[in-house]
Amino acid sequence: MLDIHSHILPAVDDGAKTTEESIAILEEMYRQGITDVIATPHFYPHAHNLEDFITITRKAFSLLKENTKAKKVPNIFLGCEILYYSGISKSSELKHFTLNGSCFLLLELTPGLINDDLFDELLYLKEERKIIPIIAHIERYKTAKKYKKFIKFVKDNGILTQVNATSFLIKDYSKTLDKLFAENAVTFIGTDSHSMDKRPPFMDIALEKIAQKYGNEIKEKLIENANKLYLDITGKENFNEIQ
């Protein structure tokens, strides 16, 4: 199974601080059945310099790949979790942020960013730029004034979404997750792993809870979607319709 959201690159963002911590996270992922993982370090356009970000992340990625050659860990790919900003759909630099150089873009929001301008930009990305947004941890934006409208928008327009495995262990997200699954508005599950102590991977526990609460068919569908994305980002097959 592919984990599409993680912060496993050492000393890059608020994720793993050392190579040893990165390896510990990866080994736990492998134990849980994760065979492939995308490293998605944060990029904050208001705070980060693109050239520095590219240099630092590529160096950390190469270091981690080198140090895991002889270990039982998932295959690692490079991506990014980029914070949405006004005008992102017209940016010429988006190729630097997609998942493994594919057409998929993991997009972070905040509740305050959910408005009609966001809707327009998401459509422009998808329809004009042929870049497919994946909304990161969509359950976290539940306090947004237009959250219900947003959920309807992503569903009606085929915008892909991801929920965090850890959210299934947090009572405050329970009702929101129920609504998202009832609306068939969840495409992927990701660990969003940052560390082994505060934010470890909980993919196995989350999948078990999904099967128990929403049915094994839903669990299998999430795994299937992740596997389709893997085939797409690695160029093995081209899936235009991930449901």
Could you report the per-residue pLDDT of 23-35, keeping only the tens digit for each? Answer: 999 999 999 999 9
pLDDT at 10 over 60: yes
Q: How many residues does the chain have?
A: 243
Across residues 4-23, what is the average pLDDT?
A: 97
Beta bridge partners of 106: 81, 134
Higher pLDDT, 242 or 125: 125
58 pLDDT more than 60: yes
Decide if 239 is inside a domain. Answer: no
pLDDT tens-digit readout, 145-169? 999 999 999 999 999 999 999 999 9
29 within domain boundaries: yes
Burial label, 123 (beta-carbon count in 10 A; 0-12, 13-18, 19+): middle
Nearest to 218 by CA among 231, 207, 204: 207
Is 82 among the domain residues?
Answer: yes
In a domain, 242, yes or no: no
Count how many domains the chain has: 1
Q: Which H/E stretch holds residue 29?
A: helix 19-31
What predicted TM-score, i.e. pTM, was given to this entire model? Answer: 0.95
DSSP classification of residue 36: E
Nearest to 62 by CA among 12, 3, 114, 115: 12
Amino acid 39: pLDDT: 98
Distance CA 237, CA 243 (A): 16
What residues make up the domain containing 28? Answer: 2-233
Percent of the chain with pLDDT over 70: 97
**Domain of 22: which CATH number?**
3.20.20.140
Question: Tokens 């140090």 map to which residue?
Answer: 67
Residue 239 has pLDDT above 90, yes or no: no
Amino acid making up residue 17: K
Q: What confidence score (pLDDT) does residue 213 get?
A: 97
- In a domain? residue 241: no
Task: Identify whether 238 is part of a domain.
Answer: no
Mean pLDDT of 192-221: 96
Residue 76 sits at φ, ψ, to 5 deg, of -110, 130
Query: What is the reported pLDDT for 238?
Result: 61
Q: Which two tokens stand for residue 69?
A: 């050659």
Q: Is residue 112 part of a domain?
A: yes
- 229 pLDDT exceeds 70? yes
CA nearest neighbour of 223 among 239, 238, 210, 241: 210
Q: Average model confidence (pLDDT) for the chain?
A: 95
- Measure the CA–CA gap between 41 and 53, rounded to whole angstroms: 9
**Judging by DSSP bridges, how do beta strands 132-135 and 104-108 pair with one another?**
parallel
Residue 153 lies in a domain: yes
Structure tokens at 131: 């870049």
| pLDDT for residue 243 is more than 60 | no
The first and second tokens of residue 86, run together, are: 């006004």
Q: Name which of 81, 140, 131 is nearest 112 in CA terms.
A: 140
**What is the rounded average pLDDT of the residues 117-141?**
97
